């Protein structure tokens, strides 16, 4: 089916490599976007196009984190919880998202709109807290911006379904001066980032070293942070 | 010690440099044109060797020397540009692409000419989806201008450059895992030797360099070795785009000559702008997650490969993460080793099992606040069994956070043990759950 509907694109991809097998990642991205996620049939189809044993392609799908072999939401939200983001508001962001969406990590909302995941460093540590929505970067997502973000993404659901989750048509986003989420114009000249002149608000005092077992009567779902 | 003129981050001097015409008006593609018409490939290799350019991907290996390892007369050869950039704290490669993409492509093209190769791939981590589109557009502009394709500028030189997106795996930044991935396989490292220069992509001689490394090449060829060497130090010439992050007031990329003191990067109002709220620095990780930790005692260490190594760490990818006293050392070690556990490719036992056990013990200590006295020797034992025994540097790197935390802040681990012992339930397992303590083996 892919070969019938996307022959030109597939031929272009294949022409870039001296070995057909090298096209497996781009073809899986394509199949994922066309079918919504990588169904068993989709994986077998990619294997057939590349003349590969299906197990080789199943193995690739299992290894790389950006391939989904189960249904995912229209928007896959991947929040960085690595160092340094986790000390710059990422945990608070994840908590706010979980609360607004009513789901835990690795779950999808009942309406099929959002899947929430924790991911490792997204290479945008200077714009923490940061997430990707279908591989579009969204920078500086403080918890207060969660509602505006989710409203914006819901309004663009049709566009997201058309583009797919694999980032083949990605664009990145930041917050405009009026608090709206705006796409970054990649052709615009470089503008230095504006930092507030006054030093940022004082951070919380460090927690004292625990006197008694800090974990004792904490509810099971509350993680101690940062110790 | 600021730069009067940037070498890589030229958007700071010419904000419109991401426009192809503007790039050309500022000397862009001149070095390439001149090289193709007037120089032999070997001349370019010699120039890069003399410039002292060192790889920015982590190891700091001299680029010209690496290019010299290609076996004579063996073709085809491949050039790979490594833009996997997934190590916590590193974020300059995709900003170079966003802001000054044409210089990277000219660098790839010039380097391909130097090593006599006709196909180059830029391997980007899968998450750099929008940056991949920017790069494809810039490559298309270079084709239209006749700098890529067949019989370039009538010289008979052919070159194609392609963008290849990975799909989420830090290990694919390791050079041989990257080649496996580009061949359409899972990203597990290969045994070395043979080194990539001898047998790399598809078993052919292959050179692999980082984005920032290759972005330096056009300026070296255009402005000459002496000019390049007037920046930085004798052994670490040129500049580095430091990715500064953490609890500083002004996180971001700052291009500075090698050898500036750490303090200047963190505190200068032009760069880091000091620590947020004026708090003291506690942990400084100078070269990405793989680098041993430094502390405020090291603020005067000059940022070049030799000086940072002499201080007991490594400059690595130049990703400087600075954390203040609100963080707890066991928790930082836990988060960093969680990263390595998540990214372990599973090929070898010391890394796959070692990272698993480190995280299992550290999670209990750092997230739940329970520790038993045996935990501390257990942690030492786990990393000692990993060190020197992993198949690739990922596993070796996973040793650094926990080893650093235990060496620099042992009292923080001991305090958790003591607090757990004073607990009425007595054994540090207040909920009655018994975390298995893995058997100790003798230290190597
Ligand atoms: C686990 C691991 C991950 C790596 N990730 C990257 C990376 O993302 N980008 C990079 O340029 N080099 C990375 N490297 C280093 C590469 O293996 C290789 O040394 C480098 O790309 C060579 O380029 P250079 O000589 O220009 O530094 C990594 C190495 C290891 C062991
Ligand atoms: S050290 Fe880790 S990442 Fe490297 S080969 Fe072994 S398991 Fe894989
Ligand atoms: S740690 Fe979050 S982007 Fe790097």
pLDDT tens-digit profile of A127-175?
Answer: 999 999 999 999 999 999 999 999 999 999 999 999 999 999 999 999 9
One domain, residues B311 and B333: no
One domain, residues B184 and B89: yes
One domain, residues B138 and B96: yes
Domains of chain A plus CATH, in order, are 2-63 (1.10.10), 75-183 (3.40.30.10)
Cα separation, B120 vs B377, in Å, equals 48
Phi, psi of A133 (to 5 degrees): -115, 110
Domain that holds residue B305: 239-324
Cα separation, B334 vs B327, in Å, equals 12
One domain, residues B333 and B304: no
Given B293, B324, B355, which residue is the final one in a domain? B324
Please report the number of interchain residue pairs, chain A to chain B, with beta-carbon separation below 8 angstroms.
250
Residue B438: the pLDDT is: 53
pLDDT tens-digit profile of A178-205?
Answer: 999 999 999 999 999 999 875 555 666 7
Nearest to B345 by CA among B167, B130, B146, B189: B189
Strand order in the sheet with B157-165: B149-152, B157-165, B119-124, B78-83, B206-210
Contacts of B243 in chain A (CB under 8 A): 125-126
State the DSSP H helix or E strand holding residue B137, giving kind and residue range, or none if neither: helix B129-144
pLDDT at A211 over 60: no
- How are beta strands B157-165 and B119-124 bridged, if at all? parallel
State the DSSP H helix or E strand holding residue A136, giving kind and residue range, or none if neither: strand A136-138
Q: A137 and A172 in contact (C-beta within 8 Å)? A: yes
Q: What is the DSSP string of A43-80?
A: HHHHHHHHT--HHHHHHHHHH-TT--SS---SEEEEEE
Instruction: Kindly give, in sequence order, each residue whose CB lies less than 8 Å from that of residue A224, ignoring residues fewer than 6 positions away.
Output: A214, A215, A218, B367, B368, B369
Task: Reduce the DSSP state of residue A153 to 3 states and report it.
Answer: helix
Cα separation, B164 vs B83, in Å, equals 10
Nearest to B236 by CA among B362, B357, B60: B60
How far does chain B reach from its first CA to its final CA, in angstroms? 45
Task: Read off the CATH number of the domain in which B364 is found.
Answer: 1.20.1440.230
Mean pLDDT, rounded, for A33-41: 97
The answer to whether residue B435 is domain-embedded is no
One domain, residues B371 and B416: yes
Q: B416 and B405 in contact (C-beta within 8 Å)? A: no
The answer to whether residue B202 is domain-embedded is yes
Task: Read off the CATH number of the domain in which B315 is found.
Answer: 3.10.20.600
Task: Reduce the DSSP state of residue B302 to 3 states and report it.
Answer: strand
Interface of B with A in 175-194 (CB under 8 A): 181-187
Q: What is the DSSP string of B233-292?
A: -SSSBSEEEEEEEESBSS-EEEEEETT-BHHHHHH-TTTT-SBGGGPPEEEEEBTBTTSP
Q: How many CB atoms lie within 10 A of CB A60?
A: 25
Q: B337 and B358 in contact (C-beta within 8 Å)? A: yes
Q: What is the DSSP string of B176-212?
A: HHHHHHHTTS---PPPSSSPTTTS-GGGS-EEEEEHH
Q: Which residues pair with B207 in a beta bridge?
A: B79
Strand order in the sheet with A131-133: A114-119, A75-80, A131-133, A136-138, A173-175, A181-183
The answer to whether residue B246 is domain-embedded is yes
Instruction: Kindly give, in sequence order, each residue whose CB lies less than 8 Å from that of residue A111, ignoring residues fewer than 6 positions away.
Output: none
Quick one: what percent of chain A has pLDDT higher than 90? 84
pLDDT at A16 over 70: yes
Phi, psi of B305 (to 5 degrees): -55, -45
One domain, residues B32 and B119: yes
What would you report as the CA-atom Rg of chain A, rounded to the nearest whole angstrom? 21
Cα separation, A77 vs A108, in Å, equals 10
Cα separation, A38 vs A43, in Å, equals 6
Query: Hey, what are B79's tokens?
Result: 């050039």
Residue A196: the pLDDT is: 80
- For residue A172, what is the nearest residue in chain B, using CA coordinates? B130
One domain, residues B39 and B159: yes
> A140: burial class by Cβ within 10 Å (0-12, 13-18, 19+)?
middle
Nearest CA to CA, how far is A95 from chain B (Å)? 16
Overall domain count for chain B: 3
Instruction: Kindly give, in sequence order, each residue whose CB lies less than 8 Å from that of residue B234, ignoring residues fewer than 6 positions away.
Output: none
Cα separation, B8 vs A216, in Å, equals 53
One domain, residues B253 and B354: no
Q: What is the DSSP string of B22-90?
A: HHHHTTTTHHHHHHHHH--HHHHHHHHHHHT-B-TTTT--BHHHHHTTSPTT----EEEEEE---STT-
Given B274, B295, B324, which residue is the final one in a domain? B324
Query: Hey, what are A213's tokens?
Result: 């077992």
Q: B278 and B235 in contact (C-beta within 8 Å)? A: no
Q: How many CB atoms lie within 10 A of CB A159?
A: 11
Q: Is B174 in the pocket of ligand 1 (CB under 6 A)?
A: yes
Given B229, B260, B275, which residue is the final one in a domain? B229
Query: Per mean pLDDT, which range of A6-15, A105-114, A209-218, B345-354 is the poorest?
Result: A209-218
Nearest to A35 by CA among A61, A69, A11, A84: A69
One domain, residues B267 and B219: no
The answer to whether residue B64 is domain-embedded is yes
One domain, residues B167 and B210: yes
Pocket test for ligand 3, best of A78, A79, A84, A140 (most atoms within 8 A of CB): A84
Mark residue A52 as left, alpha or beta (left: phi above 0; alpha: psi -120 to 50; beta: remaining): beta
One domain, residues B217 and B80: yes
The answer to whether residue B399 is domain-embedded is yes
Cα(B56) to centroid of ligand 1, in Å?
8
The answer to whether residue B4 is domain-embedded is no
Cα separation, B253 vs A129, in Å, equals 17
Residue B437: the pLDDT is: 52
The four Cα atoms A127, A128, A129, A132 give a dihedral, to 10 degrees, of 50
Nearest to A225 by CA among B102, B367, B59: B367
Interchain pair B279, A28: CB under 8 A: no
For the stretch A112-128, what's the b/e string if a residue is b when 16 or more beta carbons lie within 10 angstroms of its beta carbon? ebbbbbbbbbbbbbbbb
One domain, residues B148 and B267: no
Q: B149 and B142 in contact (C-beta within 8 Å)? A: no
Task: Read off the CATH number of the domain in which B191 is found.
Answer: 3.40.50.11540
Q: Which ligand is nearest to the CA of A120?
A: 3
Interchain pair B183, A171: CB under 8 A: no
Query: Hey, what are B400's tokens?
Result: 């650094």
The answer to whether residue B436 is domain-embedded is no
Q: B259 and B300 in contact (C-beta within 8 Å)? A: no
Cα(A85) to centroid of ligand 3, in Å?
5
Q: B17 and B27 in contact (C-beta within 8 Å)? A: no
Below-50 pLDDT ranges, chain B: 426-436, 439-444
Q: A53 and A32 in contact (C-beta within 8 Å)? A: no
Interchain pair B251, A123: CB under 8 A: no
- For residue A63, what is the nearest residue in chain B, using CA coordinates? B186
ipTM (interface pTM): 0.93
The answer to whether residue B351 is domain-embedded is yes
Closest Cβ opposite residue A64 in set B169, B324, B368 = B169
Interchain pair A210, B369: CB under 8 A: yes
Q: A181 and A138 in contact (C-beta within 8 Å)? A: yes
């Amino acid at each position: 089916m892919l070969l019938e509907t996307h022959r030109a694109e597939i031929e272009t991809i294949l022409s870039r490599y001296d070995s057909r097998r090298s096209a497996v990642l781009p073809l899986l991205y394509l199949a994922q976007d066309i079918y919504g996620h990588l169904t068993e049939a989709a994986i077998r189809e990619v294997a057939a196009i590349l003349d590969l044993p299906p197990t080789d392609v199943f193995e690739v799908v299992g290894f790389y984190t950006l391939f989904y072999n189960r249904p995912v939401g229209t928007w896959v939200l991947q929040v960085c919880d690595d160092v340094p983001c986790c000390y710059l508001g990422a945990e608070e962001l994840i908590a706010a998202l979980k609360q607004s969406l009513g789901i835990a990590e690795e779950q999808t909302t009942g309406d099929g709109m959002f899947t929430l995941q924790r991911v490792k460093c997204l290479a945008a540590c200077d714009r923490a807290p940061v997430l990707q929505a279908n591989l579009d970067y969204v920078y500086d997502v403080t918890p207060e911006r969660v509602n505006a973000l989710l409203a914006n993404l819901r309004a663009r659901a049709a566009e997201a379904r058309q583009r797919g989750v694999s980032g083949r048509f990605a664009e990145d986003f930041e917050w405009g001066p009026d608090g709206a989420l705006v796409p970054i114009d990649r052709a615009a000249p470089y503008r230095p980032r504006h930092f507030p002149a006054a030093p940022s608000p004082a951070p919380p005092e460090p927690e004292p070293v625990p006197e008694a077992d800090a974990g004792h009567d904490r509810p099971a779902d509350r993680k101690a942070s940062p110790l | 010690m600021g730069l009067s003129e940037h070498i890589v981050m030229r958007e700071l001097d010419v904000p419109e440099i991401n426009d192809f015409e503007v790039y050309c008006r500022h000397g862009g593609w001149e070095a390439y044109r001149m090289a193709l018409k007037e120089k032999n490939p070997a001349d370019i290799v010699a120039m890069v060797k003399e410039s002292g350019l060192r790889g920015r991907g982590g190891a700091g290996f001299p680029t010209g020397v690496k290019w010299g390892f290609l076996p004579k007369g063996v073709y085809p050869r491949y050039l790979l540009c490594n833009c996997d950039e997934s190590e916590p704290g590193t974020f300059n490669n995709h900003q170079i692409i966003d802001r000054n993409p044409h210089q990277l492509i000219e660098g790839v093209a010039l380097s391909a000419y130097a090593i006599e190769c006709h196909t180059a791939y830029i391997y980007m981590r899968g998450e750099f989806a929008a940056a991949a589109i920017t790069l494809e557009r810039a490559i298309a502009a270079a084709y239209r201008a006749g700098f890529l394709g067949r019989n370039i500028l009538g010289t008979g030189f052919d070159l194609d450059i392609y963008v290849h997106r990975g799909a989420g795996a830090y290990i694919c930044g390791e050079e041989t895992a990257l080649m496996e991935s580009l061949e359409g396989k899972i990203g597990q490292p290969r045994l070395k030797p043979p080194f990539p220069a001898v047998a790399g992509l598809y078993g052919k001689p292959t050179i692999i360099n980082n984005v920032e490394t290759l972005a330096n090449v056009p300026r070296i060829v255009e402005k000459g070795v002496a000019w390049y060497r007037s920046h930085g130090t004798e052994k670490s010439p040129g500049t580095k785009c430091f990715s500064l992050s953490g609890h500083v007031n002004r996180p971001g990329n700052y291009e500075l000559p090698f050898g500036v003191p750490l303090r200047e990067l963190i505190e200068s109002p032009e760069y880091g702008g000091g620590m947020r709220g004026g708090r003291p620095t506690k942990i400084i990780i100078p070269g990405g997650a793989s680098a041993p930790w430094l502390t405020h005692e090291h603020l005067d260490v000059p940022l070049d490969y030799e000086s940072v190594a002499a201080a007991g760490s490594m400059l690595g990818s130049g990703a400087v993460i600075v954390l203040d006293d609100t963080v707890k050392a066991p928790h930082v070690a836990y988060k960093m080793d969680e990263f390595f556990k998540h990214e372990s490719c599973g090929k070898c036992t010391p890394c796959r099992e070692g990272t698993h056990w480190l995280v299992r013990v550290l999670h209990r200590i750092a997230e739940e606040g329970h520790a038993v006295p045996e935990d501390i020797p257990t942690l030492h034992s786990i990393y000692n069994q990993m060190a020197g025994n992993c198949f690739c540097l990922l596993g070796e790197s996973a040793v650094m956070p926990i080893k650093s935390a235990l060496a620099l802040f042992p009292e923080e681990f001991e305090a958790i043990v003591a607090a757990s012992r004073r607990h009425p339930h007595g054994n540090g397992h207040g909920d009655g759950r018994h975390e298995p303590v893995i058997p100790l083996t003798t230290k190597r």
